[in-house]
Amino acid sequence: MVSDITKKHATKVEALKNAGLTDSEAKIYLVLLDLGPSLAGMVARRSGIHRRTVYDILDRLVEKGLVGYMRTNNRNYYETTEPIKLMELLREKEEEMSGILPELELSHKQSKEKQETNFYKGKEGIRIIFEDQIKEGKEILVFGESNLASDVLRYYLPKYNKKRIEKKIKMKMLFDKSLQEKMSKIPLAEIRFLKSHISLSSTNIYADKVAIILWSDNPLGILIKQKEIADSYRNYFKMLWDSAEK
């Protein structure tokens, strides 16, 4: 019986589900439409759905205005209201969606902005990362700095530092102790040194971002935008900073 009903009304069931009804609500509605005014027990037998569940579903359909009932001899006889009510239900759904759509779009945008990873290749790509640091205007934490950086970007770094000084962007930098003489004079930068920390890559932490740069003649940069990751790297930097030599 249930399978026959499902086959008979399969297309209608899907259409009603698209209108916002559950699978069981759609089936009960269509059974009741076939039967006309009926007791819940009759609906349960025809649909194959447990009687207690049928009562719950009928109550929900009544709340949605799709089903009404008449009380005769202390018994409720249920029947469907005019099918045009389905169109009203759809319009209500559309109005509800229209009401929350701006909020959903904002949440989607914020979610997209929350986490983002971009890859940059070549000197021009690395300059994009450094220009982003200037744009953000926040303190920059640097560790694992390679002594190749000043060679790879020798013509750009003076311009970068000039912009950084103009915006009063401070830096904290951790270098290997072997670079102490070379890296001791960087404007608006507090510098400390670590032993045995030579690396071909450097990590820059600023705002909600982490930039990992592999220095070579054709450098590669990975820029990660996510607050949780930036905070994690910032905590790691603090641990190194507290143990470093001035």
d(CA 3, CA 51): 18
Q: Are residues 189 and 146 in the same domain?
A: yes
Q: Are residues 119 and 238 in the same domain?
A: yes
Read off the pLDDT of residues 58-100 as tens digits, 9 standing for 90 and up: 999 998 888 888 888 888 999 988 888 778 777 777 777 677 7
Provide the pLDDT for residue 3: 44
Provide the pLDDT for residue 109: 67
Q: Are residues 80 and 195 in the same domain?
A: no
Beta bridge partners of 70: 77
Q: Are 120 and 126 in contact (CB under 8 A)?
A: yes
Provide the pLDDT for residue 115: 62
Provide the pLDDT for residue 185: 75
Last residue of a domain, one of 46, 67, 86: 86
CATH code of residue 169: 3.30.870.10
* Domain-embedded: residue 217: yes
Q: Are residues 29 and 144 in the same domain?
A: no
Tokens of 69: 């009932």
The structural domain count of the chain equals 2
Beta bridge partners of 143: 174, 203
d(CA 13, CA 42): 20
Q: Are residues 53 and 122 in the same domain?
A: no
Which helix (H) or strand (E) segment holds residue 35: the answer is helix 23-35
Residues 6+ apart with CB under 8 A from 38: 32, 77, 78, 79
Give the SS3 label for residue 187.
Answer: coil
Last residue of a domain, one of 68, 86, 104: 86
Q: Are residues 216 and 123 in the same domain?
A: yes
Q: Which DSSP letter does residue 179 get?
A: G
Q: Are residues 125 and 164 in the same domain?
A: yes
CATH code of residue 59: 1.10.10.10
Q: Are residues 37 and 77 in the same domain?
A: yes
Full domain range(s) for residue 15: 2-86
* Domain-embedded: residue 229: yes
Residue ranges, the chain, pLDDT below 50: 1-3
Q: Are residues 60 and 168 in the same domain?
A: no
Q: Are residues 70 and 123 in the same domain?
A: no
Specify the pTM. Answer: 0.55
* Domain-embedded: residue 109: no
Provide the pLDDT for residue 2: 45
Last residue of a domain, one of 31, 65, 86: 86
Measured between alpha carbons, how far is residue 239 from residues 72, 133, 234, 236, 243 in Å?
79, 23, 9, 5, 7
